[in-house]
Structure 1
Amino acid sequence: MNTILLGFAIIVSGSIGYFISIALVTTSFYKNRANNYLSLSLFLLTSLTLFGWFDIEDTVLEFLNNPVLEYLFGVTLFTYFLIQIQHKYLKESWYKWLYLPFICSLIIETILYLDTIFNFYSSDFVDLQFHIMDNASFVYNVFLIFWGRKLIKGSHTISEDKKSWLLRLNLFIICIITCWLLSTIEFYVFNSEYATSFLWILLSFLLWWVLYYGVFKLQIIVQKDEIHQYLVSKNTHNTQAKKKIRETTVSKIITQLYVLMEEEELYKNPLLSRLDLANRLGTSEGYLSQIINQEINKSVIQFVNEYRIEAAKNLLHDPVFNKYSIEAIGMEAGFKSKSAFYNAFNTSLGMSPGAYRKLQKKS
């Protein structure tokens, strides 16, 4: 019964894996160079999972279940990491040599597979070659995964959110490789497959995790970064806000507060707190709240959110940003979560960000 349930879970997860792989290269929301390599990596990992779980001996698919896919998986995932961190290795001439083990294994495996027809070699020799290739692929994958992890940690070209995701994915792959090693040891030493079953479960869980946190959430972050880079390059920040230093304010603190919001755009920090503002202004939290309430008749969060909503409105109104998701726009404006963005926007304007965008398109 447990085997049946596990098999069913693996089939479902495999379907999800193939679905993600196809979606990454066919959907405009996800489609980019990095995701093309992630798509291929997930396709290979899904195939290895299904071929490893189900008996495919004496079929054409048996050829694919040999080490050749394992060599290709490590390189495509390593390439995905390099693209995400925009590493200079991608432009190096030696980089393509990383595919050499895959090409060599493909040639060797083809020769050995044909031997099943022509019987050139002894079965012991063929088994030995497959054993060597299998172990070499394990070492090669470990090398690439840890090399990729080192490069990600040392990268200064990406946001902390993206770096965190890449390191988590890398760690997940390390766990899979470790489980892979344990399952191999268990099989040869104890002649059991408990670790193997756990490996399939881990692989299945990875596909579900990648679906949401690894693909959708990361794409939101990528879009947020693209919006930010566009705004910086075109200098299209809220120009009206930068002109509205209020002459009616009598407090120096309030004047400095407007400067922080309009020139440094502190409101775009989703973790900005009342204490952070008070420290920047050299005052206490209590006095800051009091002075904002007296002179502007708002709370600190209302004051900050007004800037965020204004920034979001400008982005939603501009057709240049129509291709970006509403959640990515909310993150760029400084909101910590989708729900916080929707609640603040709806409270201020009486409509959702989506409804506002549709209204602007019609006008």
Structure 2
Amino acid sequence: MQPIQIPFLEIISLLSVLHCLVLSLVILFSKFFRSKHNNYLGYTLLIIAIVGINNWFWDRGSNPTIISLLDLFLWQFLYPVTLLHFFQKTSEDETKKIVGIKYLYLLFIVLSVFNSVISLSTIFNLYSLPQTICTHVDQFYKAISFLSVIFPIYTIILSYRLVLHHKDNPSKKWLRQLWIYFSILMLFGVAFELYRFLYSEKLPFTYLWTFASIFLYWLVYKGFYQFKLSNDRYEIRTIAKKEKNQLATNTNTKNTHFNKLLLLIEKEKIHHDPNLSRDNVAEQLEISSGYLSQIIKENTTGSFSDFINYHRVKDIKALIKDPRFDNYSLLSIGLECGFNSKTSFYTNFKKETGLTPNQYKNK
């Protein structure tokens, strides 16, 4: 019996598919990543893995029964919607929400029903279709090929609206990168479908999955880290919003503008904005930025940035002491309290406390 020879690129392609399958299961069943909105990313990767397994066998000219059964469903109309749903769930801008997104699933359902009716007759020979239907089968699959080109592009455009408002948020940078990678993969698939529509010939997907392997490794080593970090920050914010702020305002000072600044700090948490600037705060207080610096120097011992970072560290220390936040990373707490990078967080925390965040937590 001669051993089966599998080309190197096909091995890489199969490994990419299996990685995609494992990642989807990790997201869907791991307690660290499972959540209502993360599940949609897990569904997307799972569906893409199913598509990849189908294509891998078809490219090899093999057609196991399980692959034929999976082919009853037109998965290419499902994963663009689950991905779009994921970006919608991660969007915090209600004005960008897409109304009626659930209706997009109908295209997958309706076309899969028609495809199943045809396939159960032509492939599984369970029954015979009327001649009037048989004459339109080719037109049906030609329409499927055309929609496979149009539909992913439509969902890419819709999802772009959802990730656009993250452009000024450093912690959401990974979402934009995720959108770019997925869009490239989907457009690569669109090009294959366009060729199939124009020439009625299906190209092998080996090179597509070879490229996809690069994306999957990025998702593991970088995306998951940001993925967990973003989730932690969201949950920290949710818990913190439920708490009544019991910090006392400094009423010893006679400067009303400084008291208003303290209210903005303690009640509005303006210092949790990583892009907060002196000019922005002065505008809220309706005073000049120079006068703002003056009243801070009169009532504290430092500059505007020292004052803001002091309150950021103060909030971080309170969260570290709270046992409800023990399961969240220190970096996610630091970023949620207003620092825009790991370096800035650790440097300013040690400047205020003389300890690193880890040392402070252990102490």
TM-score (ref. length: structure 1): 0.73
Match of 1:59 in 2: 64
Distance 1:302 1:57 in 2: 67
Partner of 1:142: 153
- Once the two structures are TM-superposed, the CA of residue 314 in structure 1 deviates from its matched residue by 0.6
- Choose from 211, 228, 235 the match for 1:226: 235
Q: Structure 2 matches for 1:165-314, cutoff 5 A? A: 169-186=178-195, 199-211=208-220, 214-236=223-245, 239=247, 242-244=248-250, 247=253, 258=262, 261-273=265-277, 282-284=288-290, 288=293, 292=297, 296-314=300-318
Change in Cα spacing, 1:256 to 1:91, as seen in structure 2 (3 Å) is: closer
User: Are 2:91 and 2:163, in contact at CA under 8 Å, matched by a contact in 1?
Assistant: no
Q: Which residue of 1 aligns with 2:38?
A: 35
Which of residues 62, 66, 75 in structure 2 aligns to 1:69?
A: 75
- Measured in 2, the distance between the counterparts of 1:11 and 1:351 equals 48
2:357 equivalent in structure 1: 353
Aligned to 1:342: 346
Cα deviation code 1:328-359 (max 9, x no counterpart):
21112111112322333244334433443354
The answer as to whether partners of 1:268 and 1:308 remain within 8 angstroms in 2 is yes
Among residues 110, 123, 126, which one is paired with 1:116 in the alignment? 123
Aligned residues: 346
Report the equivalent of 2:3.
Answer: none
Asked if the contact 1:183–1:199 (Cα under 8 Å) also holds between the matched residues in 2, the reply is: no
Q: Which runs of 5+ in 2 are unaligned?
A: 1-5
Distance 1:56 1:303, change over 3 A: farther
Tell me the TM-score normalized by structure 2.
Answer: 0.73
- Contact (CA 8 Å) 2:13, 2:206: kept in 1 or not? no
Question: 1:73, CA displacement in angstroms?
Answer: 1.5
- State the AA in 2 paired with 1:36: N
Describe the shift of the 1:31–1:244 C-alpha distance in structure 2 as closer, same or farther (beyond 3 A).
same
**Alpha-carbon separation, structure 2, partners of 1:348 and 1:12:** 49
> Partners in 2 of 1:173 and 1:82 — Cα distance?
15
| 1:326 is aligned to 2:330 | yes
Report Cα offsets for 1:190-223 as digits up to 9, x if no partner: 98969x5553344333333444555442442343
Q: Output the CA distance in 1 between the equivalents of 2:56 and 2:240.
A: 49
Greater share of residues in helix: 1
8 Å CA contact retained: 1:161, 1:221? no
* Cα 1:102/1:184, change in 2 over 3 Å: closer
State the shift of 1:32 in Å: 0.9
The separation in 2 between residues aligned to 1:90 and 1:295, in whole angstroms, is 44
CA root-mean-square deviation: 4.5
Q: Structure 1: which amino acid aligns with 2:108?
A: F
* Higher mean C-alpha displacement, 273-282 vs 299-308: 273-282
Conserved in 2, the CA contact under 8 Å of 1:245 and 1:255? yes
Q: How far did residue 245 of structure 1 move?
A: 5.6
Inter-partner Cα distance in structure 2 for 1:342 and 1:179? 42
Report the identity percentage: 22
Distance verdict in 2 for CA 1:15–1:189, change over 3 Å? same
In the alignment, the residues of structure 2 paired with residue 273 and residue 262 of structure 1 have an alpha-carbon distance, to the nearest angstrom, of 17
Change (3 A) 1:342 1:246: farther
